[in-house]
Amino acid sequence: MPKKTDDIQNEFEQQLGELTLDLQRTRADFENYRKRVDAEKAAARENGQASAILKLLPVIDNIERAIAYTPEDLKDNKWVQSVAGLVKNLEKSLESLNLKRIDAQAGTEFNPEVHEAIQFHEDAQGEKEVIAEELQAGYILNGHVIRHAMVKVTKQ
């Protein structure tokens, strides 16, 4: 009889080992699932944020164009100054969402990863491609370009 008890004990320990391994695998699978779901949620949140911001960018572009073409005699007008202040507040709000404007000032070196060349001055001399003029602002959200800066390029 004692031999039978040892067999039962060994069988019990084997089953316990198998169940322990199954539990560890299940835990690992669940942890991987949780990480994947968290990553998918974050990606969906970022995509939604980018989509909403992309819808606002044309409005910002139009306001900036309107301010840029303000007649000289209206520059000191309170209404014009209020609209300019509104743009600054909007830019600060967008910055708090981790949106950054791409540097595309005249003289900045052309970078095809963030700039889109719309026009190229072929008669220009030089070796380095630089921006001649920014036509439309570009933006980076959370380290990803959501809209390239449209620029005119020349050589310097």
Q: Which CATH architecture has domain 99-156?
A: Roll (2.30)
H or E segment and range at residue 150: strand 149-155
For residue 109, give the DSSP letter: B
The answer to whether the CB of 136 falls within 8 A of the CB of 150 is: yes
User: Mean per-residue pLDDT for 136-154?
Assistant: 94
Reply yes or no on domain 1-97 having CATH 1.10.3470: no
Residue type, 107: G
89-110 tens-digit pLDDT: 988 998 999 999 999 999 999 9
**Taking 80 as the threshold, does the pLDDT of residue 25 lie above it?**
yes
User: Mean per-residue pLDDT for 26-41?
Assistant: 97
| Average pLDDT across the chain, whole number | 91
Measured distance CA(133)–CA(108) in Å, rounded: 10
User: Mean per-residue pLDDT for 140-149?
Assistant: 94
Measured distance CA(90)–CA(84) in Å, rounded: 10
Pairing of strands 144-147, 99-101: unpaired
Q: How high is the pLDDT of residue 2?
A: 59
| pTM for this model (two decimals) | 0.74
* In the chain, where the domains are located: 1-97, 99-156
Closest CA to 139 of 49, 72, 66: 49
What SS3 class is residue 61? helix
For the chain, percent of residues with pLDDT exceeding 70: 97
**Taking 80 as the threshold, does the pLDDT of residue 3 lie above it?**
no
Q: How far is CA 139 from the centre of its chain?
A: 8
**Taking 60 as the threshold, does the pLDDT of residue 1 lie above it?**
no
Least confident of 23-27, 28-32, 152-156: 152-156
User: Mean per-residue pLDDT for 122-145?
Assistant: 89
What SS3 class is residue 115? strand
